[in-house]
Structures are given as C-alpha cells and as structure tokens.
Chain A
Amino acid sequence: MRRLGVLLLASALCGVTVGSAASLALATQGLGAAHLTVPRCTSGGLGVLPNLAGTSVISVTVRSLPGACGGATIQVAVNNGSDSSSGSDTVAGGGGSVTVALANLVPATTTEQIDIVLVGP
C-alpha cells in the first residue's frame, strides 16, 4: 500500500512535467505556424508567363528569380478549371528565369490558375 502511495505521489509530481510537455507540444505547433512567416528564398515579385502552343499552354516561364533560389526545385501547375497539368525543373545557380514544361497541354481559357512552389534550396 505504501509502495502504491509513493508511486502515485511520484506520478502526480511528474505529471506536472507531462502537462508541461503537452503545453510544449502545442506551443511548438504555434511556433510552427509562426515560422511560416520566415522569409524563404524569395518574397519578391516573380514574373509569371504562360507560353502558348497554338491555343494551349505548353509551358510557364518564371522570371526574376533571385540568386537565393538557385538550386531550388520549382514546381508549376496550371489549371483552367477543367484541365490541368504540371511540371518541375531546377532553378539555375544564379537565379534568373526558368521555363517549366508541362506534362500535358492545357487549353487556354479566360482565366487560368498557375501554382508555383519553390522547394529549397
């Protein structure tokens, strides 16, 4: 009985630590969200230009990439609301521009959404 009492007492005391750990985990999630505002390889304006082959988008040129993005993988997806395609390439060491070829043609329409993600470097 005495052992059980000691065990419960010890667990209760250490439970404070467990509580702290849980709080720490939540706090870390909060920190994670906060870290989303940390500048990445660029927070500047990129020139985005869909390139046509006939009446369809065949590739996307992304310009004004800073040198800090050199070596990053650039992923591009084009969606016209009914058709979509994507492609990826690597940003050259000095940045600049890159033309990402799409896997498939996407018919050009009045509005197209182009998603660009730079991963790394």
Chain B
Amino acid sequence: MTRPALLVALACAFALGTVVSGSVRVGSAASLNLSSQNLTPYLTCVITATPSTTSAVTDATVDEANPTTNLAAATTLTVATKSGSNGRAYIKFSLSGCTPSIPSSATLRAATLRVYVSATQPGCQTIDVFPVASSWTEAGITWNNQPFGTTVNNPASGSRTASFDAGSGGCANNPGSYISGADVSADVAAFISGSATNYGWMLRNDSESATPPRTVTFSAKDLGTLSQAPQLIVTYVTTP
C-alpha cells in the first residue's frame, strides 16, 4: 500500500469509528424497539359513585306512576315493567374527573358499566342500556321530562348499546352481586373522541308494560355503600 493510500485508509478508519459509534446508537435503538414491542401499557380510569354526595356520578329513577316526581334521592335504581307503572334508571359518569385526563386521541380498549343488583323477582329480565342523547339533571329528571320521552318501549331495543339479564335462579346476574358488566365501549369511545356528548345511559326493561309485571332494582349512589356503588371502568391506551 502506498503512503497516500495508507493515510486515506487511516482517515477512513477514523471516520468509520464514528460510524461504529453510530451503530452503537443503532444498537440501542434496536434494543428500545425490542422492548417497546414487548411492552403493553394500559391505562384505566375507574369512576365509582362514592361518596353518596359526589357529583361525578348522577343517577335517578323515573316512574311512570309518579310522572312528575323526582326520585333522585332514592337508594335504589328501579327498572320496572308494568302497564302504567314502568320504571327506568338514568345514570351518568363524568369522565372529566379522571387523572390524568383521557386525551381525545386515546384509543379505547374497553368500557364497562357495573351496577349492583339489589333485588329481583323470579325469572330473568333483560335490561337494555341506551346512550342518552340530551341533557338531564339528577335533581330535575322525572318520567314526564326524561330525554327519551314517555312512550313505552322507546327507543327500540335494537338501538341499545348493551343488555344483560338479571334475576334469580339461572340468570347470569343474581341479586346480591354486581352484574358481570355491560359493554359500553362504543359509547365511551364516542364520548372521548368528541363525536358524541356524554349524557350517560338509560336502563329499561327490554319489554315495558309486559305481563306479568317485573321489577329489578340496583343499588344507587344515594345508598352510600361503596361495595355496591355504580361504576364505570374505562381502559385505554395513548399509543395505538
């Protein structure tokens, strides 16, 4: 090798040393990539109707037999099917209390509504869960002014977000326990992204004004019992 060629080779080797250093960074990045592929971070916000005075959760029953009476202070949420005396439950969870706040760009992985079945009558009853499309207040809602109006079996069962059975015997959700959970993921995803406003949900019997009459009651916020309080559990990721 001639001397000039040797010098060129040495200079290139020096420069390549930097390249090797660069490759160390590449190696580190590759390691990071490997780690990030194997990390699955989930964030969950649990909203619980506790204490009974919290404003983060609002709930109330509306009763066809008492159409102008506000029943928000009741310790139970009553869903009833009986001609002239149907009952529905309204419940809303404020997502703004989550810390950290859920970004609108978050990808929802699951949202589950949990209510505690305090009493039922024999036989399974199907309870439908509908997203509410207009505002209501805990202190003001009645059968007559409820967002879904006073027509029974409205909205149609087909537009429900979720449903669950409740009752004694062979039902999936027995009295004295939480329901296994109503999947309200689609609604909460819309609330988070801003494509829908969070007015909560309405629970009604799948068949109102049915015979024989049936009632399912759930523990309300006002019962003040933590182990039976309504809950919304929202699980999301900030990186898809």
Contact = CB atoms under 8 A, between A and B. Distances in A.
A119 B37 CA distance: 9
A110 B42 contact: no
A94 B51 CA distance: 39
Contact of A18 (B15, B32, B37): B15
B156 interface: no
B47 A111 contact: yes
Interface residues of B, number: 56
Contacts of B109: 43-46
Contacts of A18: 15, 18-19, 22
Interface string B87-115: 00000000001111000000001101000
Given A32-B33, A35-B36, A110 B22 contact: no
Contacts of B4: 6
A22 B26 CA distance: 10
B56 A110 contact: yes
**Which residue among A17, A110, A119 has the maximum number of chain B CB atoms within 10 Å of its CB?**
A110
Nearest to A118: B40
Q: Which of A6, A13, A79 has the most CB of B within 10 A?
A: A6
Given A6-B4, A32-B36, A47 B26 contact: no
Contacts of A11: 11, 14-15
Which secondary structure dominates where chain A touches chain B? mixed
A17 B19 contact: yes
Given A21-B22, A48-B110, A55-B226, A119 B239 contact: no
B74 interface: no
Interface in A1-32: 3, 6-7, 9-11, 13-15, 17-18, 20-22, 24-25, 28-29, 31-32
A45 B42 CA distance: 9
A49 interface: yes
Given A18-B18, A111-B45, A111-B98, A117 B40 contact: yes
Given A110-B48, A111-B45, A113-B99, A119 B39 contact: yes
A105 B40 CA distance: 25
B190 interface: no
Contacts of B100: 113
A24 B19 CA distance: 9
14 contacts: A10-B10, A13-B8, A18-B22, A21-B23, A35-B33, A42-B40, A43-B240, A45-B110, A55-B226, A69-B40, A110-B50, A114-B45, A115-B42, A118-B40
